[in-house]
DNA sequence: AAAATAAGTGGCTCTGAGACATTATTTATT
DNA sequence: AATAAATAATGTCTCAGAGCCACTTATTTT
């Protein structure tokens, strides 16, 4: 259903063209951003879900997203950050664009696309708020490649893709550090890797690898537990992700 | 500039909601797909460019792309394939979604986003045709992280990102095989890797790595050159990409 | 004081990359 | 026909870092 372009433009200047531009020449798909926001809670991965207030998929649980607001948002990432901050208060998460899904049928309102972002947030930074458009918000535990319930639209498959991304990157990067609290022990970090990869690792290899990457700094403090105290580390550069030249494998757990 | 949603929907069913749905509640950004189509020509990487027939950026060189046609295209990748086939006739390329750029200012017509695909095509499969909207089409040689000329909109930066993607993947995958003709020697494949990574590799390591991946099949035939003939190989599975567990580095060339 | 447990180290093997010398197979030159 | 030149292909060593696992250390519990 295209309308006709409004004039023969052969002799127009670009300025004239733009002054006459009719944005409805092509019907546009709707454009949104969805965030898969992951955190660590009770030694389990959790994803943030909101319960939709409005149609379509009213009262279904969905990822944290929304339409691009062409007045408010300078770019795609701004939409992602706006939605993220609206629900969690977190301003500076690890945020990575994963992919974009766009199909005729994924939304009953018609052709729609959504740019999917993966956000990793340390749980202590989060302040949940349902906010506009949501009647509830909660952390849902990850089981395998998703959550135990159906999600709105194609959000289950989006979540699945993001978990695949997290897991494949954990094999050759330091990505999981972005789930950690400000200070943590190497054993705690290893447990997070083991959780993400669902695989046990040798602690000697793990220590060698992480310390060799030169991304951690000793705090000098020790974690007091019921056993031998462990060194507490913090990130040297909390914004960056380290890429190893070899994969870590571990064994099936 | 939002219009008001058309009715209080609290008691509506989803069907009623959809029957009344006004898609202009939010103004939508324009949505396009752009392909970075790379091939190997005269032992150099080339990218396919078209010269724009219409405003904006009239007569500027640009990537092969266009708006999503919500009637024609089932999904984003269909748009990418449609545009690719329109210009090159290639139906089954290696095609990978790289990322999506969307900003207020990248297109003078207003907020726009484009899903960027990287296509690798063996040169012998290509049949160039300018087609509608283009007054010229050509292969432009890659120099460093781009081409020697300015491109329309933000296409220079899109091209740069795709080259980064290709180069980083060449370090740990068999991706460059998708640039090869149906049969090729290991030395020829190594030259392509060296071209992509701009780095010389040890041929023993390279052979070990490629043969160990079990993705190549001897054809039995030999390439007749002015020197010792080399074994010709073909891909075992031309659609897949192999992931190595260790990076290849090479030395600066 | 001994047992239990988690933190952390030592030191081996194994895989695959890097380096580089050597051998093999062809054409061109004499 | 013998030799030179060039590229294809192999042999074999070193090296880095993962996997493995026993051992030592520091702490609490019994």
The tens digit of pLDDT for each residue in A24-69 reads 767 999 999 999 999 999 999 999 999 999 889 889 999 999 999 9
Residue A104 confidence (pLDDT) above 70: yes
Domain with CATH 3.90.79.10 in chain A: 30-170
Q: Please count the other Cβ atoms lying within 10 Å of the Cβ belonging to residue A91.
A: 9
Region A231-246: what's the mean pLDDT?
93
CATH number of B30-169: 3.30.420.40, 3.40.30.10, 3.30.365.10, 3.90.79.10? Answer: 3.90.79.10
Q: Which residue has its C-alpha nearest to nucleotide D29's C1'?
A: A226
Domain with CATH 1.10.10.10 in chain A: 173-252
Provide CATH code, domain A30-170.
3.90.79.10
- Helix segments in B64-109, DSSP class H: 76-88
CATH class of A173-252: mainly alpha
Region A19-26: what's the mean pLDDT?
73
Q: How confident is the model at residue A218 (pLDDT cuts 50, 70, 90)?
A: very high
What letter does residue B248 receive in the DSSP assignment?
Answer: -
Region A84-94: what's the mean pLDDT?
94
Chain B, nearest residue to A80 by Cα: B102
Residue A3 confidence (pLDDT) above 50: no
Q: Which of B10, B13, B29 to mutate to test the interface with A (most CBs of A within 10 A)?
A: B29
Residue A105 confidence (pLDDT) above 50: yes
CATH number of B171-252: 1.10.10.10, 1.20.120.640, 3.10.20.340, 1.10.357.10? Answer: 1.10.10.10
Q: What percent of chain A has pLDDT over 70?
A: 92
Residue A1 confidence (pLDDT) above 60: no
Domain with CATH 1.10.10.10 in chain B: 171-252
- Does residue A58 belong to the interface with chain B, where contact is any CB pair within 8 Å? yes
- Does residue B199 belong to the interface with chain A, where contact is any CB pair within 8 Å? no
Give the span between the Cα atoms of B29 and A32, in whole angstroms.
10
* Mean pLDDT for all residues in chain A: 91
DSSP B127-163: -----TTEEEEEEEE-BTTB-SS--STTHHHHHHHHH
Domain with CATH 3.90.79.10 in chain B: 30-169
Quick one: pLDDT at residue B11?
67
Quick one: pLDDT at residue B227?
87
- Assess contact for A253 and A198: CB atoms under 8 A: yes
- Assess contact for A50 and A130: CB atoms under 8 A: yes
Residues of chain B where predicted confidence (pLDDT) is lower than 70: 1-11, 14, 16-18, 23, 25, 252-253
Which nucleotide's C1' is closest to B207 (Cα)? D9
């Amino acid at each position: 259903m295209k309308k006709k372009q409004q004039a023969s433009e052969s002799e127009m200047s670009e300025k004239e063209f733009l002054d006459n531009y009719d944005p409805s020449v092509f019907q546009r798909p709707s454009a949104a951003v969805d965030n898969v926001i992951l955190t660590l809670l009770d030694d389990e991965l959790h994803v943030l879900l909101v319960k939709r207030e409005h149609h379509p998929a009213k009262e279904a649980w969905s990822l944290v997203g929304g339409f691009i607001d062409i007045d408010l948002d300078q770019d795609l990432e701004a939409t992602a950050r706006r939605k993220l901050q609206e629900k969690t208060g977190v301003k500076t998460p690890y945020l990575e664009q994963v992919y974009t899904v766009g199909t005729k049928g994924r939304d009953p309102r018609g052709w729609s696309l959504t740019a999917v972002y993966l956000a990793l947030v340390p749980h202590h930074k989060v302040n949940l708020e349902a906010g506009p458009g949501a009647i509830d918000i909660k952390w849902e535990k990850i089981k395998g490649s998703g959550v135990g319930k159906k999600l709105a639209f194609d959000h289950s498959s989006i979540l699945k893709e993001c978990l695949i991304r997290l897991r494949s990157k954990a094999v050759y990067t330091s990505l999981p550090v972005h789930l950690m609290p400000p200070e943590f022990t190497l054993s705690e970090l290893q447990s997070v890797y083991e959780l993400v990869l669902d695989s046990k690792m040798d602690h000697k290899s793990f220590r060698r690898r992480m310390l060799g990457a030169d991304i951690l700094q000793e705090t000098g403090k020790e974690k007091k537990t019921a056993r031998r105290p462990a060194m507490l580390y913090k990130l040297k550069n909390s914004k960056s992700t380290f890429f190893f030249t070899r994969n870590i494998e571990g064994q099936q757990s």
